[in-house]
Chains A and B, each alone.
Chain A
């Protein structure tokens, strides 16, 4: 086993980390600041309220080797407003992301784009003379795939929520 901890920014697997925090002003800044100042890579970050109004939930997707991820979890736990940190990477989990994609769809392209939307079980939620706005939900691969398929038609704008995740079965983040 190497004796020396890995360098910051070392690449490795992507991890999905659930962070339950006190729902207080500034808590997002504390978490985001931690990642910035310790040089951890964040691939996505989603924040929301939960069933308990005093608790917010963050889903952080971060990459790095085992030691870096271990440090991320420990440093997050050290923040006073953090209640629980759970790394879901090796747990059976469900991950989803939602994307809205505004794509060129004039009369010549509409049919093809609609077919693609069907195949991905996505939805067209807005339409103009020249564009469709598509809503798609799924795991990261699915979103990446539809993005790739739509690219040739001309994506004007796109937004993704970032990943959210829950563990399968009856267990919850507090219990992991």
Chain B
């Protein structure tokens, strides 16, 4: 109802104990010449630092606790019950806040920030719809084991369970998609809960933790105490490696003739890239990475097999098929990697290194399991692994690489092939950029053609496959790594899901560059319908999407377009010149290109669909 808000406001005034204050501020508004909206109280200036034992509000304690954990930036949207926290932020130095367009975007930004920095990403949302808007972002972080703390407002403790306005049981809702969550019931719990939340989020197998803070808990006064270190009897993330398996693993490595190193996101989380490289050097075993581990091993290294799995390279999948030893470092035998698991790497012995004991034997039963931090486990392992020369196995791999390279028809001059854009982006950035992606064909092409050279530079939604992850995660990545060039290879469908985040990117002059591989359709779905559903192209047409160049301009970003292959390099260069605002490049690409190779879901490498190269890209 119109005017309702104003009546509520008046009701608040008459109710409020600080009635005089409120009336004063209303009078100020009325006096301000250019209308009441204009008046804004100035911040009170940086508050006194909170001393140990000082009496402060729960909200102040919350901010203080976040800072104590090293938080520098928060992505969020305020709302009724979060106003106490945002009120503290108003005066606060040392904690920046980025007001996002949608809480999902905020969660993805925190996620992208965490992926490139290795730190815990933090996002805020208000109760009810604010909190439920976070759900996709939290689930995404959970599936990819990304450290994140989400703080949500909640209705007053006295209103919980009464279906109060904007009440949602967010701890109940996020129970299966968080590593842990908290509903804080007393202000005094805040410092400990925040310290535990960060500790849980970043240790062991990382993951998202949600902290739900009711309004009264934020308002009530409490005595602030710093939490020097966290001890929890019910949570002891195992980091010491069980060393009994190490010798056995070394023996398997010594005995193997056709080893393959299969690296997953755990290697990135534990910072094990030096050790992965050393293991590869010493054994001459080729290295394949999952989508999430791209960058854990330099993909330009001759021992690199690139990505494996459904859209992995043929040679990675052949290598896994024929290997006699599979060394899994922090990967989880995902079905998009293995296809039909009963037919996967059947002749191989296997070593599985993972910090999460529950990963051992969840899908695939290894001959040797090393439970512990990947880096520490590899260090231990390396102390008993000897140099091995190149063998026929390496020759075989090189032969496959020659016979089945990733390729695209580079001789097109009418229509841009999406693979070409990925390839040109790789060439333009020399693999030194941070690359984020949406979800779909473009993501797989990015994984195939953008060869990652460094860890924490490929930001993509693996486990959940969340369309819309690209732009916000790229923004979060740019906030975390302001000195790096950040690109996002996006699909037109994915981009439409979260493009509102161009507004905060513009506001904060974040120069993310989005390459939309615009095929005017939900390409990956179209590909499946074409290949496995008799060309019945149902609900995939996006030809009525907005003009992305104009959309970019509407946001105050730079909009560019390329329609011919000859224009691709030029627009990439132009985009690279912009460093004070986001850039959207609308690459009009072939509509009906399929992403290959492909092992259809649930099948084996024998059913891999390959196109013979017409022209290798060299």
Q: Report A's interface with B, CB cutoff 8 A.
A: 1-5, 21-22, 25-26, 29-30, 33, 37, 67, 70-71, 74-75, 77-78, 80-83
Contact = CB atoms under 8 A, between A and B. Distances in A.
A81 B182 CA distance: 11
Contacts of B175: 26, 29-30, 33
A34 to B, nearest CB: 8
B364 A5 contact: yes
B233 interface: yes
Contacts of A70: 361
A77 B237 CA distance: 10
Contact of B364 (A3, A21, A78, A82): A3
B176 A33 contact: yes
Nearest to A26: B171
B7 interface: no
A108 B183 CA distance: 58
A71 B361 contact: yes
A33 to B, nearest CB: 6
A56 B41 CA distance: 51
28 contacts: A1-B365, A2-B365, A3-B350, A3-B365, A4-B363, A4-B364, A5-B362, A5-B363, A5-B365, A21-B234, A25-B183, A26-B172, A26-B175, A29-B172, A33-B175, A67-B361, A67-B365, A71-B361, A71-B362, A74-B357, A77-B357, A78-B357, A80-B179, A80-B180, A80-B200, A81-B180, A81-B234, A83-B234
Contacts of B363: 4-5
Contact of B342 (A4, A80, A82, A83): A4
Interface residues of B, number: 26
Interface string B341-380: 1100110001000001110111111000000000000000
B539 interface: no
A78 B180 CA distance: 10
B234 A4 contact: no
Contacts of B6: none
A37 B358 CA distance: 15
A78 B356 CA distance: 8
Contact of B176 (A37, A67, A77): A37
B176 A5 contact: no
B532 interface: no
A80 to B, nearest CB: 4
Given A3-B364, A67-B365, A74 B358 contact: yes
A91 B172 CA distance: 35
Contacts of A1: 365
A70 B342 CA distance: 20
B233 A83 contact: yes
A58 to B, nearest CB: 13
Which of A25, A77, A82 has most chain B Cβ within 10 Å? A77
A75 B357 CA distance: 9
B165 interface: no
B176 A4 contact: no
B358 A71 contact: yes
